[in-house]
Amino acid sequence: MPVVDIHTHIYPPTYVELLRSRTTVPYVRTFPDAPDSSRLIILPGEDDPSTPSTSRGRPIGPEYYDIAQKIAFMDTHKIDTSVISLANPWLDFLPGEKAGEAARKINDDVDGLCAKYPGRLYAFGTLPLSAPVEEVVQEIERLASLKHMRGVIMGTSGLGNGLDDKALDPIYAALEKNETLIFLHPHYGLPVSVYGPRANEYGHVLPLALGFPLETTIAVSRMLLSGVWDRFTKLKVLLAHSGGTLPFLAGRLESCIQHDGHLKELGKTEGRRDVWDILKTNIYLDAVIYSDVGLKAAMNASGADRLMFGTDHPFFPPLEKDQKEWHSVNANYSAISTAFKDDKVAAEGVLGDNAIRILKLDL
C-alpha cells in the first residue's frame, strides 16, 4: 500500500541564498543572543522587536533545503513518494522584473531534485506572480513540459489583489487548459490586530492554527463569490489544511449567499454553481488537520476520494531533541486510521491511491 505525501515543502538552496541576502521579511539571519543558529523569518510581523527571540521565526537547518534529509524523513515515516513544493512566501515578494527568471531557475532546480530519486519525488511548481501575466502563462506552459511537475503551489494574494481578481482570468484559463492543479496554501494570515495585545505571549499558535486556515477559507470563498468556477468549470484546486474551515462553514456560506439582498438584486443568487458542487467537483483537500474530527468534516464535504495525506514537513518538527518520529505526522496518520477505521479502501485512498490517481503519478 503506497503512502504519498502531497503537502511537504522545500526551500531549494538558491532560494535560501536569496533569503540570506535580504534584510526585510522574508529573510534568514542570526540574532546576537544565538549567533550560531540561523533563523527563518517569513511571516508578516514575525520580526517585530517586541517579539521574544524564541518566537521570532524558527530555527532553519538542513531539513529545510537538503533533499537527502527529506528522503530520510520519508524513510522514517514510511512515506514512499512525496510531491514537494516551495514553501511560503514563494516568489510573492520579488520585483516583477526578477520573478520570471527566479521561477524558471527554482522550477528547474526542483525538477532536477526529483530526477535524482525516481519514483520517490514529484513536485508542484512555482509561478512568478509579480511578473506580467504573459510571463506567468509562459511558465504554466513550460511547467507542463517538466517531467516531475504535477501542479503549481500558490498563495492567496494572486497578482496582489486576491484570487477573485478578473486579471487572473488568463492564468486560470492556462491552468485549466493544461489541467494544472493549483495547490492553494496560506501565508499572510489575518491582520495581527485580531490576535489582541498579548499576541506575542502565545508564540505562533494563533496565526498558524487560526490565521492560516481562515486566510484559505476567505480566499476560496472570494473565488466562489466572484464566479471563478462558473467561468472555469474544470479548474482544480487542492486546499491546504483540509480546506481551512471551508468544510465546516460551507453550509453557512451557502446560506449567506442565498439570503443576501445585494447579490439577489445583481442576479447573482441564481444560475451559479453552489459551494457543495464545487467542493465535490473542483476542490481537493489535504489531510493535514491532525484530528479525525476535522478529517471527517473534510470527507463529508468533498468525499473520501478527494482527500490526500500530507505532513507539512519541515514545519512542525518535534520540540524534543533526538525525537526521530514526528508527532505532527503521527497525528495525521492516526486521524486517517480513526476516521476510516471501517473502510480500508478509503483509508488507502487517502494515504496514497487518491494522489496516484489525481496527480497521475507513474508509480
Site residues (vs ligand URA, CB under 6 A)? 9, 42-43, 87-88, 208, 312, 315
Q: What is the DSSP string of 46-108?
A: TT-TTS-GGGSSEE--GGGT-HHHHHHHHHHTT--EEEEEEPTTTTTTS-HHHHHHHHHHHHH
For Zn ion, which is the closer residue by CB, 239 or 304?
239
Determine the interface stretch with Zn ion among 12-20, 118-126, 133-141, 304-312 (rule: CB under 5 A).
304-312
Determine the interface stretch with Zn ion among 48-56, 231-239, 259-267, 305-313 (rule: CB under 5 A).
305-313
Q: If 0-12 CB within 10 Å is exposed, 13-18 middle and 19+ buried, where does residue 360 land?
A: exposed
**Residue 192 partner contact from ligand URA, Zn ion, none using kind-dependent CB cut-offs of 5 to 8 Å:** none
Minimum distance, C-beta of residue 201 to ligand URA, in the bound complex (Å): 19
CA separation for the pair 308, 285 (Å, rounded): 6
Which residue has the closest beta carbon to Zn ion?
312
Site string for Zn ion, 54-83 (x = CB under 5 A): ------------------------------
Which residue has the closest beta carbon to ligand URA?
315
Q: Which of 92, 215, 312, 353 binds Zn ion (CB under 5 A)?
A: 312
What cell does 61 get?
A: 537547518
What cell does 51 get?
A: 517579539
For ligand URA, which is the closer residue by CB, 82 or 88?
88
What cell does 359 get?
A: 496527480
Q: What one-letter code names the amino acid at 53? A: S
Q: At 236, is the secondary structure helix, strand, or coil?
A: coil
For Zn ion, which is the closer residue by CB, 195 or 212?
212
**Residue 8 partner contact from ligand URA, Zn ion, none using kind-dependent CB cut-offs of 5 to 8 Å:** none
CA separation for the pair 156, 189 (Å, rounded): 10
For Zn ion, which is the closer residue by CB, 253 or 298?
298
- Asked whether the beta carbons of 92 and 158 are under 8 A apart, the reply is no
Strand order, beta sheet including 283-286: 4-10, 81-86, 121-126, 149-154, 182-184, 237-239, 283-286, 307-308
For ligand URA, which is the closer residue by CB, 158 or 186?
186
For ligand URA, which is the closer residue by CB, 292 or 312?
312
For Zn ion, which is the closer residue by CB, 236 or 313?
313
Minimum distance, C-beta of residue 202 to ligand URA, in the bound complex (Å): 15
The rounded radius of gyration (Å) of the Cα atoms in the chain is 20
Q: At 42, is the secondary structure helix, strand, or coil?
A: coil
Say which residues have a Cβ less than 8 Å from residue 193's Cβ, sequence separation at least 6.
none
**Residue 6 partner contact from Zn ion, ligand URA, none using kind-dependent CB cut-offs of 5 to 8 Å:** none
- Asked whether the beta carbons of 184 and 237 are under 8 A apart, the reply is yes
Minimum distance, C-beta of residue 42 to ligand URA, in the bound complex (Å): 6
Minimum distance, C-beta of residue 11 to ligand URA, in the bound complex (Å): 11
Provide the binding-site residues for Zn ion, judged by CB under 5 A.
Answer: 312
